[in-house]
Structure 1
Amino acid sequence: MSTTTVPNRVRILKEKFSRSLGLPFQKLLPESEIEKALNELKIKYRRRLFDPLVTLWTFLSQVLDVDKSCHNAVSRVIAYLAAEGVEILSTDVSAYCQARARLPEQLLEKIFGQAAQSLEEKVTTEYLWCGRSVKVIDGSNVSMPDTVENQKAYPQPTSQKPGCGFPIAKIGVLFSLATGAAIALAIDVINTHDIQLARNLYKFLQIKDVLLGDRAFCAYADLISITSLGCDAVFRKHQSRKTSMRKGKIVGNCDKFVIWYKPQKCPTGLSKEEFAALPLTLAVREIYYYIIIPGFRTQQVSLITTLLDTETYPTLEIVKLYDDRWDVEVNLKHLKSTLGMEVLRCKSPSMVRKELYVYLLAYNLLRALMWQAGITYSTPPLHLSLQGTRHHFDNFIPELLGNSEVKCHQIYQILLKIIVHKPIPQRPGRAEPRVRKRRPKAYPLMKQPRTQLRRQLQAV
């Protein structure tokens, strides 16, 4: 029987993780910053195998893996220890699951925010848009296990019968246009409007940021809120506002200044005091253009922006910027499809939120790898494949673990070089039909709770 103490096993695991998952985070989120976050939140913990740092690294490795089970995550920890001649007597996952539950949600939110900010600080002037940092915002949905707690916190759609659906949460995510990294997250129930989530994310904007979004976010009060923070916005005009070519001061081809007036009724989500504090008018800039690419549903686009300086922010640059808004759709697809965040695994609302933060942290880890590879080998980081980066990273981890520290860093440099070998083809204007070729299995949809269906089977 091994007599190795728990602190020694913790040291071994920390060393293993620092040579694999920790390599991209050495400058982005070093261990010292995690310890600092623990101290700031006054989090105290006992000396055990799954301390906060080991638990966090194990959780990260779990969401990055194709097999996201807790058994697979614990098996990885056992393998790391076995390679150093340390034996663990039990493969039970309860210790790890309890350790995940002990991780405070505030800690994961703080670590995720620090990692995102650290990556954002690496952005140089050449990656800015007209000298400004651009943030992109959008909303989406995630599903989770059908438990009583999850249903109470994030109810399933009312169109589904009880027991026949899954709890669904609405999320709003703020991304960096320069790095593709996730900056902030807001979570609420499914029937929450995107703009309500956005109002919880404005506080994460920095002075001089430009917020980019679709027409769901284009509201009078929100444009006021964004400008009051020292930021600007570029949104597609909401469909409820009609475009008139005769109104406004023309300042360029398909470009004009327009005065918007305060709504007569208080919008949903604003208090009477907030509505009363809104100014009576707002000067905005409206840019309208046409899309003639075959296959595109949208044919006419009207943009609303608070960027009123036509010399610093030319019409064409703003149009190109809005075209880049599609990147947020791709980023959400990476999170939900590539990494598997679309269907969460945790069975309580607090663990669901923790799982979301860890997914975003893992996503930023890959973005940090892509950024470092692109900067090192003079390739635009956003032109690299996130799925390809994930494949290379997973395949290099065994080699990183099995060598000395000096050799490990040599292999890591090769990893960065390999990542830039798989750029994403640039296909502007490509359109694909929205159809499915792969046929689903011919099973009917569940229209009754599982317990009732089981009783029907037993009665046959």
Structure 2
Amino acid sequence: MSCGTRTVLDAVFGPTTNGETFYAPSLVRSLREGMIVLLDRNFAVQALVEAITGTGAHVLVRVKEHRRLPVLQRFPDGSYLSRLGAVAVRVIDCEITVSTSQGRRTGAYRLVTTLTDPHAHPATELIRLYHERWEIETSYLEIKSTILGGRVLRARTPAGVVQEVFALLVTYQILRLAMADATGIRQDIDPDRASFSIALNTARDLIVQAAGVLDGTTIDLIGTIGRRILADLMPDRRIRTRPRVVKRAISKYNARGTVDRTSYKATISIDILTTRAP
């Protein structure tokens, strides 16, 4: 996914007998110079990082706190130069504190990036950038809950599942492109403010009514979907936090009892650590 617009760059899937790290290398085919790839700890694999950098793209990945990465050079911002296999990387150790009306919580993070120049890419900017990785979770929500409404796939055969998954991705991509076109005409609008639900419901109305069918050679990039999105933009995103909830797949009850599902307004503070021994 593109973090800015949540458009699809590539997708790969298959039997659950193979995990995420098995399928991830197939996505390297869609990377190119100028991209920054955000990865979680599960993908901090030497071979994958080397494959990504081989395309000219950069990497920003979280690794386990105690992963041994030798200090080759210390930088003024507290980060240091190291190596991950054959790739030169920069390591940033930090603590992130999230404060809400319910209290404070501090977590330790170790980030590794191929953006090794601390002047061109300050550590605090990379830490804030890494938070954007969660945009893909919102995309999963829009596909599984907004488009599907929480329903499972209807196909009963492997070939049917492939066809249905790609149909979902195509539908999602068309809506996201329409949203990107609409918000792209206004430099003061962040794509985050476009409502996916409005885009989806407007598209459904147009299909049901057979309205807005193109006639002639003039193409309106904004269109009906875009105009409705721009007429009802969501507020600027505010920092919020919400507990992660674990549920049993066949039960409506939480696996860990009662869980607070409230979203709280939050403030975030970042401290870069310079004394942690790698």
Task: Report the TM-score, using the length of structure 1 for normalisation.
Answer: 0.47
Match of 2:46 among 220, 231, 234: 220
Change in 2 beyond 3 A, CA 1:402/1:421: closer
Where does structure 1 lack aligned partners over 5 or more consecutive residues?
A: 1-174, 263-280, 443-460
Q: Tell me the residue number matched to 2:64.
A: 238
Q: How does 1:170-209 map to 2 (within 5 A)?
A: 175-209=1-35
Change in 2 beyond 3 A, CA 1:337/1:239: farther
1:287 partner letter: I
Match of 2:200 among 390, 400, 403: 390
Q: Tell me the residue number matched to 2:73.
A: 249
Larger Rg, first or second structure (1 or 2): 1
C-alpha separation in 2, matches of 1:252 and 1:231? 25
Change in 2 beyond 3 A, CA 1:415/1:328: closer
User: Contact 1:258 / 1:283 at 8 angstroms: preserved in 2?
Assistant: yes
Task: Please say if 1:337 is aligned against 2:134.
Answer: no
Q: Tell me the residue number matched to 2:109.
A: 301
C-alpha separation in 1, matches of 2:83 and 2:42? 20
Instruction: State the Cα distance separating 1:375 from its structure 2 match.
Output: 2.1
Match of 1:367 among 151, 164, 176: 176
- Residue 188 of structure 1: SS of its match in structure 2? coil
Q: Tell me the residue number matched to 1:115.
A: none
User: Contact 2:65 / 2:108 at 8 angstroms: preserved in 1?
Assistant: no
2:80 partner letter: K
- Residue 154 of structure 2: SS of its match in structure 1? coil
Match of 2:232 among 416, 422, 427: 422
Task: Report the TM-score, using the length of structure 2 for normalisation.
Answer: 0.75
C-alpha separation in 2, matches of 1:188 and 1:328? 19
- Residue 336 of structure 1: SS of its match in structure 2? helix
More strand by share: 2
Instruction: State the Cα distance separating 1:282 from its structure 2 match.
Output: 3.2
| Two-structure CA RMSD over aligned residues (Å) | 3.0
C-alpha separation in 1, matches of 2:190 and 2:252? 41
C-alpha separation in 1, matches of 2:194 and 2:185? 13
Instruction: State the Cα distance separating 1:196 from its structure 2 match.
Output: 1.3
Match of 1:322 among 124, 130, 133: 130
Instruction: State the Cα distance separating 1:347 from its structure 2 match.
Output: 1.1
Q: How does 1:91-240 map to 2 (within 5 A)?
A: 175-238=1-64
**Higher RCO structure, 1 or 2 (CA under 8 Å, sep 6+):** 2
Change in 2 beyond 3 A, CA 1:309/1:253: closer
Task: Please say if 1:347 is aligned against 2:173.
Answer: no
Change in 2 beyond 3 A, CA 1:402/1:388: closer
C-alpha separation in 2, matches of 1:413 and 1:223? 41
User: Contact 1:216 / 1:238 at 8 angstroms: preserved in 2?
Assistant: no
Q: Tell me the residue number matched to 1:107.
A: none
C-alpha separation in 2, matches of 1:431 and 1:313? 27
Change in 2 beyond 3 A, CA 1:297/1:360: farther
- Residue 67 of structure 2: SS of its match in structure 1? coil
Instruction: State the Cα distance separating 1:298 from its structure 2 match.
Output: 6.5
C-alpha separation in 1, matches of 2:24 and 2:8? 14
Instruction: State the Cα distance separating 1:387 from its structure 2 match.
Output: 1.3
1:206 partner letter: R
User: Contact 2:96 / 2:107 at 8 angstroms: preserved in 1?
Assistant: yes
Instruction: State the Cα distance separating 1:200 from its structure 2 match.
Output: 1.2
User: Contact 2:97 / 2:105 at 8 angstroms: preserved in 1?
Assistant: no
Change in 2 beyond 3 A, CA 1:252/1:332: farther
C-alpha separation in 1, matches of 2:205 and 2:192? 22
Change in 2 beyond 3 A, CA 1:424/1:249: farther
User: Contact 2:182 / 2:227 at 8 angstroms: preserved in 1?
Assistant: yes
C-alpha separation in 1, matches of 2:212 and 2:180? 25
User: Contact 2:82 / 2:89 at 8 angstroms: preserved in 1?
Assistant: yes
Q: Where in structure 1 do 4 or more consecutive aligned residues deviate above 6 Å?
A: 295-298
Q: Tell me the residue number matched to 1:11.
A: none
User: Contact 2:98 / 2:105 at 8 angstroms: preserved in 1?
Assistant: no
- Residue 185 of structure 1: SS of its match in structure 2? coil
- Residue 75 of structure 2: SS of its match in structure 1? strand
Change in 2 beyond 3 A, CA 1:382/1:393: same
User: Contact 2:98 / 2:106 at 8 angstroms: preserved in 1?
Assistant: no
2:230 partner letter: V
C-alpha separation in 2, matches of 1:404 and 1:248? 60
Instruction: State the Cα distance separating 1:344 from its structure 2 match.
Output: 1.0
C-alpha separation in 1, matches of 2:135 and 2:177? 17
Per-residue CA deviations over 1:199-230 (Å, capped at 9, x if unaligned) read 11111212332211111111122211111222
Where does structure 2 lack aligned partners over 5 or more consecutive residues?
A: 254-278
C-alpha separation in 2, matches of 1:366 and 1:419? 11
Determine what percentage of the aligned residue pairs are the same residue. 25
More helix by share: 1
User: Contact 1:215 / 1:237 at 8 angstroms: preserved in 2?
Assistant: yes
User: Contact 2:206 / 2:212 at 8 angstroms: preserved in 1?
Assistant: no
2:127 partner letter: V
- Residue 300 of structure 1: SS of its match in structure 2? strand
- Residue 368 of structure 1: SS of its match in structure 2? helix
